[in-house]
Protein backbone atom coordinates (compact mmCIF):
# COMPACT_ATOMS: atom_id res chain seq x y z
CA UNK A 1 0.00 0.00 0.00
CA UNK A 2 1.54 3.35 -1.00
CA UNK A 3 1.81 6.38 1.28
CA UNK A 4 -1.07 8.30 -0.24
CA UNK A 5 -3.37 5.30 0.13
CA UNK A 6 -2.44 4.92 3.81
CA UNK A 7 -2.97 8.65 4.43
CA UNK A 8 -6.42 8.49 2.82
CA UNK A 9 -7.51 5.56 4.97
CA UNK A 10 -6.14 7.22 8.10
CA UNK A 11 -7.92 10.50 7.45
CA UNK A 12 -11.13 8.66 6.58
CA UNK A 13 -11.04 6.79 9.87
CA UNK A 14 -10.52 10.04 11.76
CA UNK A 15 -13.56 11.47 10.01
CA UNK A 16 -15.68 8.51 11.03
CA UNK A 17 -14.51 8.75 14.63
CA UNK A 18 -15.19 12.48 14.69
CA UNK A 19 -18.68 11.99 13.27
CA UNK A 20 -19.44 9.34 15.86
CA UNK A 21 -18.13 11.51 18.68
CA UNK A 22 -20.15 14.49 17.46
CA UNK A 23 -23.27 12.36 17.38
CA UNK A 24 -22.62 11.16 20.90
CA UNK A 25 -22.12 14.72 22.11
CA UNK A 26 -25.35 15.90 20.52
CA UNK A 27 -27.30 13.00 21.98
CA UNK A 28 -25.70 13.62 25.39
CA UNK A 29 -26.57 17.30 25.31
CA UNK A 30 -30.12 16.61 24.20
CA UNK A 31 -30.52 14.12 27.02
CA UNK A 32 -29.72 16.80 29.56
CA UNK A 33 -33.03 18.60 29.10
CA UNK A 34 -36.02 19.07 26.90
CA UNK A 35 -35.36 22.85 27.27
CA UNK A 36 -32.16 22.77 25.18
CA UNK A 37 -33.62 25.35 22.79
CA UNK A 38 -33.13 28.00 25.49
CA UNK A 39 -29.36 27.77 24.93
CA UNK A 40 -29.63 30.38 22.16
CA UNK A 41 -31.01 33.11 24.44
CA UNK A 42 -28.55 35.91 25.15
CA UNK A 43 -28.95 38.12 28.21
CA UNK A 44 -30.17 41.56 27.20
CA UNK A 45 -31.22 44.71 28.99
CA UNK A 46 -34.88 44.62 29.89
CA UNK A 47 -37.01 47.67 30.70
CA UNK A 48 -37.97 47.87 34.38
CA UNK A 49 -41.01 45.76 35.09
CA UNK A 50 -43.62 47.48 37.22
CA UNK A 51 -44.62 44.23 38.90
CA UNK A 52 -41.06 43.03 39.64
CA UNK A 53 -40.64 42.72 43.42
CA UNK A 54 -37.06 41.48 43.72
CA UNK A 55 -34.17 40.32 41.56
CA UNK A 56 -31.32 38.26 43.03
CA UNK A 57 -28.76 35.67 41.95
CA UNK A 58 -27.20 32.58 43.50
CA UNK A 59 -23.86 30.87 43.09
CA UNK A 60 -21.80 28.37 45.09
CA UNK A 61 -18.45 26.58 45.31
CA UNK A 62 -16.76 29.74 44.16
CA UNK A 63 -13.69 30.37 46.28
CA UNK A 64 -10.79 29.30 44.08
CA UNK A 65 -9.50 32.63 42.80
CA UNK A 66 -8.86 30.84 39.51
CA UNK A 67 -9.99 31.27 35.91
CA UNK A 68 -13.35 29.55 36.31
CA UNK A 69 -14.41 31.80 39.17
CA UNK A 70 -13.47 34.93 37.22
CA UNK A 71 -15.40 33.67 34.20
CA UNK A 72 -18.60 33.24 36.23
CA UNK A 73 -18.00 36.53 38.04
CA UNK A 74 -17.68 38.22 34.64
CA UNK A 75 -21.05 36.81 33.60
CA UNK A 76 -22.56 38.00 36.89
CA UNK A 77 -21.17 41.48 36.18
CA UNK A 78 -22.59 41.45 32.65
CA UNK A 79 -26.00 40.39 33.91
CA UNK A 80 -25.89 43.10 36.59
CA UNK A 81 -25.27 45.78 33.96
CA UNK A 82 -28.25 44.58 31.96
CA UNK A 83 -30.54 43.70 34.86
CA UNK A 84 -29.41 45.30 38.14
CA UNK A 85 -29.61 43.34 41.38
CA UNK A 86 -28.22 43.91 44.86
CA UNK A 87 -28.33 40.45 46.45
CA UNK A 88 -26.26 37.30 45.93
CA UNK A 89 -27.02 34.07 47.76
CA UNK A 90 -23.57 32.52 48.28
CA UNK A 91 -24.20 28.87 49.06
CA UNK A 92 -20.95 27.70 50.60
CA UNK A 93 -17.38 26.62 49.87
CA UNK A 94 -16.54 30.29 49.81
CA UNK A 95 -12.80 29.74 50.39
CA UNK A 96 -10.88 26.76 49.00
CA UNK A 97 -9.34 24.54 50.03
CA UNK A 98 -9.59 24.92 53.78
CA UNK A 99 -11.55 28.08 54.54
CA UNK A 100 -8.45 30.17 55.21
CA UNK A 101 -9.69 33.72 55.78
CA UNK A 102 -6.33 35.17 54.73
CA UNK A 103 -7.26 34.21 51.16
CA UNK A 104 -10.37 36.38 51.19
CA UNK A 105 -8.98 39.03 48.87
CA UNK A 106 -7.92 36.50 46.23
CA UNK A 107 -11.08 34.38 46.30
CA UNK A 108 -13.80 36.93 47.03
CA UNK A 109 -12.91 40.61 47.11
CA UNK A 110 -11.04 40.72 43.81
CA UNK A 111 -13.26 38.39 41.74
CA UNK A 112 -16.43 40.26 42.80
CA UNK A 113 -14.87 43.71 43.08
CA UNK A 114 -17.15 45.30 40.49
CA UNK A 115 -20.30 44.02 42.21
CA UNK A 116 -19.12 44.90 45.70
CA UNK A 117 -18.29 48.45 44.62
CA UNK A 118 -21.88 48.85 43.44
CA UNK A 119 -23.30 47.77 46.78
CA UNK A 120 -24.25 44.20 45.90
CA UNK A 121 -24.67 42.28 49.14
CA UNK A 122 -23.50 38.66 49.47
CA UNK A 123 -25.36 36.51 52.01
CA UNK A 124 -23.23 33.44 52.66
CA UNK A 125 -23.53 30.10 54.38
CA UNK A 126 -20.79 27.63 55.28
CA UNK A 127 -19.68 24.74 53.08
CA UNK A 128 -17.65 21.70 54.02
CA UNK A 129 -14.37 23.32 52.92
CA UNK A 130 -15.16 26.44 54.95
CA UNK A 131 -15.25 24.62 58.29
CA UNK A 132 -11.75 23.13 57.92
CA UNK A 133 -10.25 26.20 59.58
CA UNK A 134 -11.52 27.01 63.08
CA UNK A 135 -14.86 25.42 62.16
CA UNK A 136 -15.61 28.39 59.90
CA UNK A 137 -15.60 30.98 62.70
CA UNK A 138 -13.49 33.54 60.78
CA UNK A 139 -15.99 33.51 57.93
CA UNK A 140 -18.92 33.99 60.32
CA UNK A 141 -17.26 37.22 61.47
CA UNK A 142 -16.21 38.45 58.03
CA UNK A 143 -18.34 41.48 57.23
CA UNK A 144 -18.50 40.77 53.49
CA UNK A 145 -20.39 37.51 54.05
CA UNK A 146 -23.07 39.20 56.20
CA UNK A 147 -23.49 36.25 58.55
CA UNK A 148 -23.02 38.37 61.66
CA UNK A 149 -21.48 35.51 63.60
CA UNK A 150 -24.41 33.16 62.96
CA UNK A 151 -24.15 29.67 61.47
CA UNK A 152 -27.83 29.81 60.48
CA UNK A 153 -29.97 32.90 60.16
CA UNK A 154 -32.88 34.49 58.36
CA UNK A 155 -33.42 37.82 56.61
CA UNK A 156 -36.18 39.35 54.57
CA UNK A 157 -36.39 41.29 51.32
CA UNK A 158 -39.90 42.55 50.81
CA UNK A 159 -42.21 39.60 50.20
CA UNK A 160 -39.31 37.10 50.23
CA UNK A 161 -37.88 35.61 53.41
CA UNK A 162 -34.56 33.77 53.18
CA UNK A 163 -33.37 31.09 55.60
CA UNK A 164 -29.65 30.24 55.55
CA UNK A 165 -28.67 26.86 57.00
CA UNK A 166 -25.49 25.19 58.19
CA UNK A 167 -25.80 21.82 56.44
CA UNK A 168 -22.42 20.44 57.53
CA UNK A 169 -22.23 17.14 59.36
CA UNK A 170 -21.00 18.82 62.55
CA UNK A 171 -23.84 21.36 62.61
CA UNK A 172 -25.98 21.78 65.71
CA UNK A 173 -28.87 20.01 64.02
CA UNK A 174 -31.14 19.66 67.04
CA UNK A 175 -31.23 23.37 67.77
CA UNK A 176 -31.08 24.35 64.11
CA UNK A 177 -34.15 22.31 63.18
CA UNK A 178 -36.06 23.72 66.15
CA UNK A 179 -35.05 27.23 65.06
CA UNK A 180 -35.98 26.58 61.42
CA UNK A 181 -39.46 25.31 62.25
CA UNK A 182 -40.06 28.22 64.60
CA UNK A 183 -38.96 30.79 62.01
CA UNK A 184 -40.91 29.16 59.18
CA UNK A 185 -44.06 28.93 61.31
CA UNK A 186 -43.96 32.58 62.29
CA UNK A 187 -43.14 33.90 58.82
CA UNK A 188 -45.90 35.67 56.94
CA UNK A 189 -43.78 36.11 53.79
CA UNK A 190 -45.43 35.10 50.54
CA UNK A 191 -42.16 33.56 49.35
CA UNK A 192 -39.91 31.37 51.50
CA UNK A 193 -36.44 30.50 50.18
CA UNK A 194 -34.14 28.17 52.13
CA UNK A 195 -30.50 27.68 51.20
CA UNK A 196 -27.55 25.67 52.43
CA UNK A 197 -24.43 24.14 50.98
CA UNK A 198 -25.41 20.49 50.62
CA UNK A 199 -27.99 19.02 48.24
CA UNK A 200 -31.26 17.41 49.17
CA UNK A 201 -32.13 16.07 45.70
CA UNK A 202 -29.22 15.64 43.31
CA UNK A 203 -28.19 13.70 40.19
CA UNK A 204 -24.53 14.62 40.64
CA UNK A 205 -21.52 12.96 42.24
CA UNK A 206 -22.94 12.86 45.76
CA UNK A 207 -26.55 12.13 44.91
CA UNK A 208 -29.62 12.82 47.03
CA UNK A 209 -29.42 12.97 50.82
CA UNK A 210 -31.92 10.58 52.46
CA UNK A 211 -31.43 12.16 55.90
CA UNK A 212 -32.24 15.63 54.58
CA UNK A 213 -35.23 14.29 52.68
CA UNK A 214 -36.47 12.83 55.96
CA UNK A 215 -35.80 15.85 58.19
CA UNK A 216 -36.03 18.96 55.99
CA UNK A 217 -38.55 18.28 53.25
CA UNK A 218 -41.49 17.71 55.65
CA UNK A 219 -40.84 21.19 57.07
CA UNK A 220 -40.68 22.66 53.57
CA UNK A 221 -43.99 21.05 52.68
CA UNK A 222 -45.68 21.97 55.97
CA UNK A 223 -44.72 25.64 55.84
CA UNK A 224 -44.81 26.24 52.10
CA UNK A 225 -41.13 26.65 51.19
CA UNK A 226 -41.12 27.17 47.44
CA UNK A 227 -37.35 27.02 46.75
CA UNK A 228 -34.24 25.37 48.18
CA UNK A 229 -30.84 26.51 46.82
CA UNK A 230 -27.52 24.71 47.36
CA UNK A 231 -24.08 23.94 46.00
CA UNK A 232 -21.58 21.16 46.84
CA UNK A 233 -22.27 19.46 43.53
CA UNK A 234 -20.19 21.33 40.95
CA UNK A 235 -22.99 21.53 38.42
CA UNK A 236 -26.36 23.11 37.75
CA UNK A 237 -29.57 21.18 38.31
CA UNK A 238 -33.17 22.32 38.67
CA UNK A 239 -35.89 19.92 39.73
CA UNK A 240 -39.57 19.95 39.05
CA UNK A 241 -41.60 20.99 42.08
CA UNK A 242 -41.44 18.14 44.59
CA UNK A 243 -44.33 18.45 47.08
CA UNK A 244 -44.38 22.16 46.28
CA UNK A 245 -40.63 22.84 46.52
CA UNK A 246 -38.17 23.36 43.66
CA UNK A 247 -34.59 22.28 44.39
CA UNK A 248 -31.86 24.18 42.57
CA UNK A 249 -28.14 23.40 42.57
CA UNK A 250 -25.83 26.22 41.48
CA UNK A 251 -22.44 24.76 42.41
CA UNK A 252 -20.62 25.40 39.12
CA UNK A 253 -19.43 28.82 40.27
CA UNK A 254 -15.74 28.13 39.67
CA UNK A 255 -15.30 24.50 38.62
CA UNK A 256 -17.49 21.75 37.21
CA UNK A 257 -18.14 18.03 37.32
CA UNK A 258 -20.42 15.74 35.30
CA UNK A 259 -24.09 15.46 36.24
CA UNK A 260 -26.82 13.05 35.20
CA UNK A 261 -30.60 13.18 35.33
CA UNK A 262 -33.30 11.77 37.57
CA UNK A 263 -37.02 11.37 37.13
CA UNK A 264 -37.57 14.70 38.86
CA UNK A 265 -34.88 16.62 36.94
CA UNK A 266 -36.11 19.53 34.86
CA UNK A 267 -32.65 20.55 33.62
CA UNK A 268 -29.06 19.62 34.43
CA UNK A 269 -25.66 20.57 33.03
CA UNK A 270 -22.05 20.78 34.15
CA UNK A 271 -21.51 24.20 32.51
CA UNK A 272 -19.91 26.92 34.64
CA UNK A 273 -22.82 29.14 35.60
CA UNK A 274 -24.95 31.01 38.11
CA UNK A 275 -28.71 31.35 38.57
CA UNK A 276 -30.78 34.54 38.45
CA UNK A 277 -34.26 34.98 39.91
CA UNK A 278 -36.98 37.55 39.30
CA UNK A 279 -39.69 37.55 41.97
CA UNK A 280 -43.26 38.61 41.20
CA UNK A 281 -46.43 38.42 43.24
CA UNK A 282 -47.48 35.11 41.69
CA UNK A 283 -44.25 33.53 40.43
CA UNK A 284 -40.45 33.41 40.48
CA UNK A 285 -38.79 33.30 37.07
CA UNK A 286 -35.47 31.43 37.07
CA UNK A 287 -32.73 31.95 34.48
CA UNK A 288 -29.55 29.86 34.48
CA UNK A 289 -26.71 31.77 32.83
CA UNK A 290 -23.40 30.43 31.51
CA UNK A 291 -20.07 32.21 31.12
CA UNK A 292 -20.93 33.11 27.51
CA UNK A 293 -23.79 35.25 28.90
CA UNK A 294 -26.41 32.92 27.45
CA UNK A 295 -29.47 31.62 29.25
CA UNK A 296 -29.45 27.83 29.00
CA UNK A 297 -32.40 27.09 31.28
CA UNK A 298 -35.61 28.93 32.12
CA UNK A 299 -38.07 27.90 34.77
CA UNK A 300 -41.08 29.27 36.62
CA UNK A 301 -41.90 28.65 40.27
CA UNK A 302 -45.56 29.34 40.89
CA UNK A 303 -46.81 30.73 44.16
CA UNK A 304 -48.46 27.92 46.07
CA UNK A 305 -51.71 29.24 47.45
CA UNK A 306 -52.83 28.00 50.85
pLDDT band at 306 (very low <50, low <70, confident <90, very high): low
pLDDT single digits (tens) 196-248: 999 999 999 999 999 999 999 999 999 999 999 999 999 999 999 999 999 99
pTM of the model: 0.87
Indicate whether 75 belongs to any domain.
yes
Whether 165 and 279 share a structural domain: yes
Whether 118 and 233 share a structural domain: yes
**Distance (Å, rounded) from C-alpha 212 to C-alpha 46?**
38
Indicate whether 13 belongs to any domain.
yes
Whether 55 and 21 share a structural domain: no
Whether 276 and 137 share a structural domain: yes
Total domain count for the chain? 2
Whether 24 and 58 share a structural domain: no
Strand 87-90 with 54-59, pairing? parallel
Report the pLDDT value the prediction gives residue 252, as an integer from 0 to 100. Answer: 98
Indicate whether 46 belongs to any domain.
no
Indicate whether 40 belongs to any domain.
no
Residue 11 domain boundaries: 1-32
Residue 46 φ then ψ, to 5°: -115, 140
Whether 7 and 113 share a structural domain: no
Indicate whether 237 belongs to any domain.
yes
**Distance (Å, rounded) from C-alpha 120 to C-alpha 117?**
7
Amino acid sequence: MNLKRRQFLFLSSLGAIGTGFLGWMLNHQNSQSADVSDSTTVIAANPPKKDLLLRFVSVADTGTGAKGQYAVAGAMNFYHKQNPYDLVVLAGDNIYNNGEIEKISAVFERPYQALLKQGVKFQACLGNHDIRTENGEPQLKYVGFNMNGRRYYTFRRGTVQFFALDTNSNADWENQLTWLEKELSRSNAAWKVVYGHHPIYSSGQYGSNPDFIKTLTPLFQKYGVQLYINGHEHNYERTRAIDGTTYLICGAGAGNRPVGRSQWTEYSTSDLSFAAYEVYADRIEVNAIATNNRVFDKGIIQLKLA
